[in-house]
A and B are shown apart, each in its own frame.
Chain A
């Protein structure tokens, strides 16, 4: 729908669609076997080549200088086929956006323009938390011109693949935190094997433990919360676009199956209860599409409260998605539960995407506190 409002997004739409068809669709199950199968390195390299790993990064920093809307269009198309690839694009964009929000251009210039491969271009991030809500973050200690980090962090997404990571850490006791850029090859970092999670298997995360690891401050000290808040609103729409794509994929597969599968002497789409299930999915997918488009427009036009609009849209879309993909499995019956079809993966991935940027209930509390002009739940006071 975004491309109907903004025709300049059509090239992104077509590029992502053809990439998904060519590189992802036929090997979804194979790619999803990770960490018990091979990682799809070649596909990630190709994503780097076509610019998907730097959609919102300015051209002078080695990106393609697209808008969040462009990122959404790409994510929706990619996630319709394989949301793990979408998770990689999302996490890298999230790291880049944090650096941009912190106006850490000098640091970014050292990372992205010089990268000659996907692994050099990727920057890991703990994408499933809002650091303000995290019980414990690593400690940062000032040492000479830089900092050292000590502590542990769970589910550092892309941590096993990327050369660097953006890590939230606390310089002092309290609830404020700062972001740091860490070279993942530094001494003192211990990474776990890829953590086996519900979904997005091919967008792996690792647990990391750090002991006196050299780190460079991103932006100003203790401003991590502000940077995250600025980025989070935008990235919520990107996460919503991922689930909008997953829903469309689920609906497409359910519709196709229901026209082929016979039960009681006719195609199951001709049984009205199946039609009702499909209608519910179609309505949810359409509403999600509209919400993403409207949130992007509100953001780009700088409407009042665009940030809360974006988060509200994302929370709503994630709930719709979790329901729709559950019905998506149901339409296919036993087949929907098997890995030979794509529905069971979407059932898992939609929930994993829902968890991006932090736990949904805490976001809801923060949303309403924001509307009421109160401090967020995890904030001081």
Chain B
């Protein structure tokens, strides 16, 4: 009925088919094994909930109120023992190489019991993404090897990521804003490395991590053009911890203050800076910095969306259980129409939030950070080759300068802006959708459960406290709405300007 050209012309109009329907074109390209693997991941998460998370969640929350100095060393050791800190690290870096999208489902499962425990596991992958997205294969392999060794020895080696500063939260997430922000974390280039001074705040799991991905600036007057990514090991001279914050929820996962005072970081721990980036691209460094941020947040915001869906599901399950076991006026609550409609609404919220993060995963899998790993031939190659092959054959190849350049070019020089916008926009969409319904369902459950919902030992009030944080971290939902507009709407409106109000 229409020629290919006509179809193409119409589908490239706003809203573009490519940016709107992600699962439709990409699902058929998904390696079939991913389904089986994802099922396994969900089953593992449920087992972990039964054996670890559910028996501990409320008790630990209470403990953190009794002892505000509580640190989740035991939880981190348990998660390490369960293999969670290497589970989603690609095999070429020594990890178990589970497909990255499966982590969203895992997050929903564990998050439905306790978002704090989930973040004790999950925020490590914010750090992992921050390392791998740099395309610095040598350093990635070195850090990931520490994580793998940590699992073998039973001493967890976690990675934190530090961007937020006391005077700059939203600003550090966008190169368009950071030059106007009050950033203070300075990295001065010296012979053999950088010397860092400054403070980072709200750094999840900072105290418990072995490595920190530190985002600093070599010129505080031009931060968007001078960002520096450094790997700093806990215990390094000049790197210390301040207090950790007294939060409303997610209390088992500390939010740390990191202090850097003349902290020397050697060149071989520089993840990226302009000099390094120049080896594989001539594009403006500011543009590369934003792309790096987008690679990381496109993945992690989809994950935070799954956290929100987890809270929404936990609230739904608590309300369902309450309604199924509580009588009012001689009738079980669940046999009232209004209750059935409330539960249906909550179930619907969970389903829609899940669809949002699934779509964001498709974007990342085919147009973003995971696109290499999800290519069918590469996926099965990674799956079936033994780990020894990667350790002995692939590893030396990755160390080569040419491999580093190729990876840099692939992810930065040859990357397309429309792909970046699609992934980043969908990451924000999933984050806002999932986290807003998290609050919505918790509120509905609380109202339905009356005074029972108020009790900490009933669980829902904790979910409500925990859920509020996911509307804030990984960029406030306001920033994420603006980013969604910037990435998915503004390209169709040439006169639109974002962050220039």
Q: Do A and B bind each other?
A: yes
| Given contacts A198-B464, A348-B465, A351-B464, A334 and B450 within 8 Å (CB-CB) | no
Cβ contacts A330-350/B at 8 Å (1 or 0 each): 100110111110001001100
Which residues from B are CB-within-8-Å of A199?
454
Q: Which residues in B have their C-beta under 8 angstroms from that of A128?
A: 450-451, 454
Which B residues, 284 to 333, have Cβ-Cβ distances below 8 Å to chain A?
326-329
Q: Does A298 contact B (CB under 8 A)?
A: no
Q: Which of A60-68, A215-223, A259-267 contacts B (4 or more CB under 8 A)?
A: A259-267
Q: Classify chain B: how many residues form its interface, as a range.
A: 35 or more
- Interface segment among A17-25, A40-48, A272-280, A299-307: the answer is A272-280
> How distant is B401 from chain A, measured CB to nearest CB, in Å?
39
Chain A contacts with B in 322-381, Cβ cutoff 8 A: 322, 326, 329-330, 333-334, 336-340, 344, 347-348, 351-352, 354-355, 358-362, 365, 377-379
User: B202–A334 contact, CB under 8 A?
Assistant: yes
Could you tell me if B450 and A337 are in contact, using CB atoms closer than 8 angstroms?
Answer: no
State whether A155 and B468 are in contact (beta carbons under 8 Å apart), knowing that A135-B326, A359-B447 are contacts in the complex: no
Question: A36 at interface (Cβ–Cβ under 8 A)?
Answer: yes
- B65 pairs with A352, CB closer than 8 A: no
User: Which residue of chain B has the shortest Cβ distance to A175 in the bound complex?
Assistant: B329
Chain B interface helix/strand/loop/mixed: helix
B201 nearest CB across to chain A (Å): 8
Residue B472 interfacial (CB < 8 Å): yes
On chain A, the residues within 8 Å of B473 by CB distance are 334
Residues in B neighbouring A322, C-beta threshold 8 A = 443
Bound CA span A339–B501, Å = 32
Would A337 and B457 count as touching, CB distance under 8 A? no
1/0 contact string of B238-265 vs chain A (CB within 8 Å): 0000000111110000010000000000
CA distance A202 to B167 in the complex (A): 33
Question: Least Cβ distance of A91 to chain B in Å?
Answer: 13
B437-472 contact mask (Cβ, 8 Å, vs A): 1 or 0: 001000100111111111111000100110011011
Q: Are B450 and A273 in contact (CB under 8 A)?
A: no
Q: Which residue of chain A has its CB nearest to the CB of B471? A: A330
Is A329 within 8 A of B171, CB to CB? Answer: no
Within 8 Å by CB of A154, from B247, B451, B481, B499, lies B451
Known contacts A198-B464, A347-B468; decide if A264 and B455 are in contact (CB<8 Å).
no
Residues in A whose Cβ lies below 8 Å from that of B170: 263-264, 333
Interface presence of A108 (CB below 8 A): no
* In the complex, chain B residues whose CB is within 8 Å of the CB of A340: 246
Closest to A129 in B: B451
Q: Is B145 an interface residue (CB 8 A)?
A: no
Once A133-B329, A338-B246 are accepted as A-B contacts, the answer to whether A359 and B450 lie under 8 Å apart by CB is yes
A196 touches B457 (CB 8 A): yes
Known: A133-B328, A330-B472, A334-B472. A355 touches B180 (CB 8 A): no
Instruction: State how many angstroms separate the Cβ of A183 from the closest Cβ of chain B.
Output: 24
CA distance A362 to B452 in the complex (A): 14
- Tell whether, in the assembled complex, residue B461 and residue A197 are in contact, meaning their CB atoms are under 8 Å apart: yes
List, in ascending order, chain A residues with CB within 8 A of B149's CB: none
CB distance from B478 to the nearest CB of A (A): 5
User: Is A361 in contact with B247, judged by CB distance below 8 angstroms?
Assistant: no
CB distance from A36 to the nearest CB of B (A): 5
* A interface footprint on B473-496 (CB within 8 Å = 1, 0 otherwise): 100111001100000000000000
Distance in angstroms between the alpha carbons of A277 and B477 in the assembled complex? 12
Interface of A is mostly: mixed
A287 proximity list for chain B (CB < 8 A): none
Decide if A282 is an interface residue (CB 8 Å cutoff). no
Cβ of B75 to closest chain A Cβ, rounded Å: 20
Bound complex: CA of A129 vs CA of B246, how far in Å? 32
Q: Judging by beta carbons under 8 Å apart, are B450 and A338 in contact?
A: no
We find that the number of chain A residues with CB closer than 8 angstroms to chain B is: 51
Contact A273 B482 (CB under 8 A): yes
Q: By the criterion CB–CB under 8 Å, are B167 and A262 in contact?
A: yes
> B460: nearest residue on chain A (CB-CB)?
A198
Contact B451 A361 (CB under 8 A): no
Contact partner of A334 (CB less than 8 A), chosen from B169, B181, B453, B456, is B169
The answer for the CA separation of A271 and B177 in the assembled complex, in Å, is 12
- Known A272-B501, A359-B449, A361-B338; judge A196-B443 contact (CB<8 A): no
Complex Cα–Cα for A334 and B473 (A):
7
How far apart sit A355 and B481, CA to CA, in the bound complex (Å)? 32
Complex contact A264–B450 (CB within 8 A) = no
CB closest residue in chain B, given A29: B246
Quick one: CB contact mask for B198-235 with A, threshold 8 Å, 1 for yes? Answer: 00011000000000000000000000000000000000
Distance from B346 Cβ to chain A, minimum over Cβ atoms (Å): 13
Tell me if A190 counts as interface (CB < 8 A to partner B).
no
Q: Which residues of A contact B464 (CB under 8 A)?
A: 198, 351
Q: Does A195 contact B (CB under 8 A)?
A: yes
Contact with B along A198-213 (1 / 0, CB 8 A): 1100000000000000
Q: Which residue of B lies closest to A198 (CB)?
A: B461
Question: B6 near A: Cβ within 8 Å?
Answer: no
Is B450 a contact partner of A263 (Cβ separation < 8 A)? Answer: no
Of the A-B pairs whose beta carbons lie under 8 Å apart in the complex, a sample of 28, sorted by A's number, is: A36-B66, A128-B454, A129-B451, A135-B327, A135-B328, A155-B455, A195-B457, A196-B62, A197-B455, A197-B461, A264-B171, A264-B177, A330-B478, A333-B472, A333-B476, A334-B169, A339-B248, A348-B248, A354-B447, A355-B451, A359-B451, A361-B339, A361-B342, A361-B447, A362-B450, A365-B338, A378-B328, A379-B329
- In the complex, besides A154-B455, A355-B453, 6 extra interface pairs with C-beta distance below 8 angstroms are A197-B454, A198-B454, A338-B247, A340-B246, A358-B450, A361-B448
Ranked nearest first, the 9 interchain pairs of A and B with the lowest CB-CB distance are A265-B180, A359-B450, A128-B451, A198-B461, A344-B248, A196-B456, A339-B246, A378-B329, A264-B177
